[in-house]
Structure 1
Amino acid sequence: MVIFLFITLNGYICHVNKKKQIAVITGDIVNSSVLNEDQKKVIQNKIEGIKNEGILLKPRFYRGDSFQLAAKPIVALKLALKFRLEVKRWQERNDVRISIGIGEVSSWNEDVLLSNGPAFERSGKNLDGLKKKDLNIIIVSGSRELDRELETYCYMADLLVQDLTSVQANVIFYKLDGTPQGKIGEILHISQPAVSKTLKAANWKAIEKFIKRYAQIIEKNYGISA
């Protein structure tokens, strides 16, 4: 039996098929103990300010420095990267640790923290294990084969993101949305050649390949509209 759960989100009625796969993004602020309350609040506001039509349940913070939200799987990786880039372009020494869990829903609530199911369990459980892996992003689907492939990509992408300067993070932040280089230059008040040089130095092509491969995996295993 297929069960549909209905919620109201930002004035719209949304429905979620319990059998449909969703992505749950759970994160926490890296080294939050060295930040004061004002700095934590800035990061919280930046994360809550990220908009995407694929967000199903808006971010909720808990325990002060941790947060969770639900989204369509197809946009989950870009959202996770945008959260990290938004923080790093503010202050490059700061970062966010993120676990993406893909799976079904058992209980759906307008408050993401009151929802549960395999996607939520995978996301929360694997966030706790990231410190041991010296990794700041992980994607877990429940498929051993897929998860091995995704973890390999995550390790490579994480090395690139961790090393980004605030300038590089700023440029890639806009590039993730497909913003043309000329427009990025206008926004950041730098030349188009400077944007191109920054993207090359930041290894944008490698990050872009990971994003495209992730989209292929999601489309193949969960459907193009997942």
Structure 2
Amino acid sequence: MIAVLTGDIINSAGYKTVDWLPVLKNFFLKLGDTPEVWEIYRGDEFQIRIAAEKALEMAIQIKALIKTTKNLDVRIGIGLGDEDFRGAGVSESNGSAYQRSGRTLSLLKERKINLAIATGDPELDDTLNLMLKLGLDFMDSWSVVSAEIILMALVNPRASQKEVAEQFQIQQSAVSQRYKRARLDLVKELLNYYDKNYKNPRS
């Protein structure tokens, strides 16, 4: 089982590509080479192949990364499943993970929701997507500062509050306050639930 993330940048037309694309490319390069692991196409759309256990955390990291630019956001459809054919790039590959990811992104555009998942298990999907919908109530509202602190916490989970404070050049007491405003505790609970349940889809 693998995961495929298919997404597009929201409000990209209001920005110069140089404002956000280099940052996104540099982030993706840490995952592997393009086009084998990830591709950016049609200007502001992307697709990534990733291990299933990393799918939701990666989607939230990408969201936080994009939201470090004011008024930008991202829409991501996550698909879990098989890879029946591996092409020269992810956009040429196929399988249930790719199909579910693409269909999920299309539904997001219709429903004006920014993140959802399709595992092949309708019951699990219902639960996860309800949790994501509730989580988006605060994630969609992250300020640039909140997005930065969430990204730091997820990319460097072992960093101490002192190290985070030094990174952002703020008081250590301010780190805890920023974590609370960004709802890092709920993000971690959501990721813990996903980690315990994604492995056992019913179909």
Fold shared by both chains (TM-score > 0.5): yes
Indicate the structure with greater strand content.
1
Distance 2:140 2:182 in 1: 11
Larger RCO (alpha carbons 8 Å, 6+ apart): 2
Worse-matched range after superposition: 30-39 or 116-125: 30-39
C-alpha distance after superposition, 1:53-74 (max 9, x if no partner):
8xx9522011111000101111
User: Which residue in 2 is equivalent to 1:66?
Assistant: 45
Aligned residue runs from structure 1 range 164-203, under 5 A: 164-177=142-155, 178=157, 179-203=159-183
Superposed, 1:34-49 pairs within 5 Å as 34-39=14-19, 41-42=21-22, 44-49=24-29
Report the CA distance between 1:109 and its aligned residue: 2.8
1:72-114 Cα shifts (integer Å, max 9, x gaps): 111111111111111112x131011101000011101341111
C-alpha contact 1:46 1:87 (8 A) present in aligned 2? no
State the partner residue of 1:105: 83
- The residue number in structure 2 matching 1:204 is 184
Compare 35-44 and 101-110 and name the one that shifted more: 35-44
Q: In the alignment, what sits opposite 1:33?
A: 13
Within a 5 Å distance, the mapping from 1:109-128 to structure 2 comes to 109-128=87-106
SS at match of 2:40: strand
Partner SS state of residue 176, structure 1: helix
Identical-residue share of aligned pairs (%): 30
Mean Cα displacement is larger for which, 57-66 or 72-81?
57-66
Matches within 5 A, 1:13-162: 21-39=1-19, 41-42=21-22, 44-49=24-29, 51-52=30-31, 57-89=36-68, 91-162=69-140
Secondary structure of the residue aligned to 2:55 is: helix
The structural deviation recorded for 1:218 is 2.1
Secondary structure of 2:39's match?
A: strand
Contact 1:104 1:118 in 2 (8 A): yes
Q: Which residue of 2 aligns with 1:216?
A: 196
Any idea what the Cα deviations from partners look like across 1:185-219, whole Å, max 9, x if unmatched? Answer: 11111122100001111121111111110111124
Give distance in 2, aligned partners of 1:157 and 1:139.
13
Q: Tell me, which stretches of 5 or more residues in structure 2 are unaligned?
A: none
Pick closer, same or farther for the CA change 1:149–1:117 going to 2, 3 Å: same
User: 1:18 matched to which residue of 2?
Assistant: none
Q: Secondary structure at the match of 1:26?
A: strand
CA distance in 1, matches of 2:65, 2:20: 13
Q: Quote the Cα distance in structure 1 between the aligned partners of 2:64 and 2:85.
A: 31
- Aligned partner letter, 1:32: S
Q: Relative to structure 1, is the Cα distance of residues 65 and 47 closer, same or farther in structure 2, using a 3 angstrom cutoff?
A: farther
Deviations 1:26-45 (A, max 9, x none): 01001222223333534543
Structural RMSD (CA): 2.0
Matched letter for residue 65 of structure 1: D
Residues 52, 36 of structure 1: CA spacing in aligned structure 2 closer, same or farther, 3 A cutoff? closer
Q: What is the SS of the residue equivalent to 1:147?
A: helix
